[in-house]
Amino acid sequence: MKKLVLTMFLFSILILSLQLAGAVTINMKSQYLPGETLIAEIQGSFISSLGSSNIYFYSGKTFIPMLYDVGKIGSSYYVYAVLPNSNKNYTLVLKNIKYFQDGVEKSEDISKDFVTKGNISSFFVNPGFVITDKNFYIELTANKQLKVKITFFNLTSEYELIEGQTKRPEFSVSSIKNFTTTKVIIESSDLKYEVPVAIYGKGENETPQINYDILKFSSNSTNIYAEKNSQVIKKTYLMNTGQKDIKNITLEVSNVLEDIVWVTPTTIENLKAGSWQEINLTASSSKNISGLLKARAENYSTNMMLNILIIKNISAINTSEQDIQSCSFLKGKVCTSTETCVGEPKLSSDGVCCVGTCKSTKTTSKKPLVIILLIIGILVLLYLIYKKSNFKKKTSKEVIEKSTEDYESRFKPQQTKGKLAKS
């Protein structure tokens, strides 16, 4: 019994220590070359798994589309992104996540700033991590003529590339029998990548299912803000993060959005491996409505949720912030049509969120008082009519007796002193 209690106590201490050490950390460089491949390691006690819908890149408050992906190797998540060919300040943001920090459950966004600075990188790699149960390759694209040395399991090979050339060195895992983690080291004279690799060997008793998220939109959902019946245009991006070109892709919206959202283009003949295509969405609606944007090819498919949100005075709100948090997360309230926001209006997934108080815009009216007085008057009138109609009615005998009395009093002789008065 004592051993059981001690075991449970030690287990509780272990769980508590894991939670207390649960702050989310993003390990990455603070400065990259333009066009370089960013590879970041993310650690933390996450309550729910990280996915591509949790990863966002911004420059200031502007959303920046990038070719990226996220995956888990061991206890760490890895994110890679091919950076644009420009000198800029950027922020990597983890959104809509839940994790433990100091034993407390939190749902705050985590961000990490970095900068691209200097001349364009000599080459970039794609992907920036590998999770596989079969042979694979890593794509190398050169921005200038160079030599590249690659090391994998203590085996080294060299490649020469000219400017603009892409090569795809292949790596065999046929000899790997058990789950193994390692790195592919790829380096030139001025740049070095360490690409994390997780291999599920052929000798595994039960090989986990690997989700190859190859064709995907830049986010799982997007909000389109517009005034009632006005036309707006929103951009999104369709990405091919795989190692093969994807041909004959069709794009369409679900039935509920057919007369509300128009997609351009509607077909993509060929989306090359490691590239993306800009998609324009033109929307016009009279009410809040949601539906799907769908991309389909022979062996691939992906969806994006579109939320059309109607705003009365859209010019008063900065829609470039791309804020997709819920109103409750922002600790605000969505005001009704008869209320106005006293505070700061922010965009949310529920529409315009008032971070403050919602004040009623209704004016005091005398109509209710007039109606009440009118009802009282009608009731009084009905009561009087009722009372009058319920006066006691005289019987026929009483009527005859009354008539007789009246007659007799009329013709009764009146006496005067000693004389009879004539009637």
Position 279, amino acid: I
Same fold, 21-121 and 122-211: yes
CATH 2.60.40.1930 is held by the domain 21-121: yes
What pLDDT does 19 receive? 42
Q: Give residue-wise pLDDT tens across range 105-121.
A: 888 889 999 999 999 99
Q: Which two tokens stand for residue 70?
A: 């996220």
CA distance 115 to 32: 6
Q: pLDDT confidence of 412, banded at 50, 70, 90?
A: low
CATH architecture assigned to 122-211: Sandwich (2.60)
What's the first-to-final CA gap in the chain, in angstroms?
130
For 215-316, give the CATH class.
Answer: mainly beta
pTM exceeding 0.75 = no
Residue 371, φ and ψ in degrees, nearest 5: -65, -40
Confidence class of residue 87 from pLDDT cuts 50, 70 and 90?
very high
Residue 423, pLDDT > 90, answer no
Report d(CA 323, CA 94) in Å as an integer: 13
How many whole angstroms from its chain centre is CA 208? Answer: 29
The residues spanned by each domain of the chain are 21-121, 122-211, 215-316, 325-363
Q: pLDDT tens digit string along 162-213?
A: 998 989 899 998 888 888 999 999 999 999 999 999 998 766 555 454 555 6
The residue written with tokens 């996915």 in the block is 51
Confidence band, pLDDT 50/70/90 cuts, at residue 80 = very high
For residue 422, is pLDDT > 50? Answer: no
DSSP reduced 3-state for 297: coil
Instruction: Report the half-sphere exposure of 128 (CA within 13 A, side-chain side).
Output: 24
The residue type found at 151 is T
The identity of residue 414, as a single letter, is Q
Cα–Cα dist 143/203, whole Å: 40
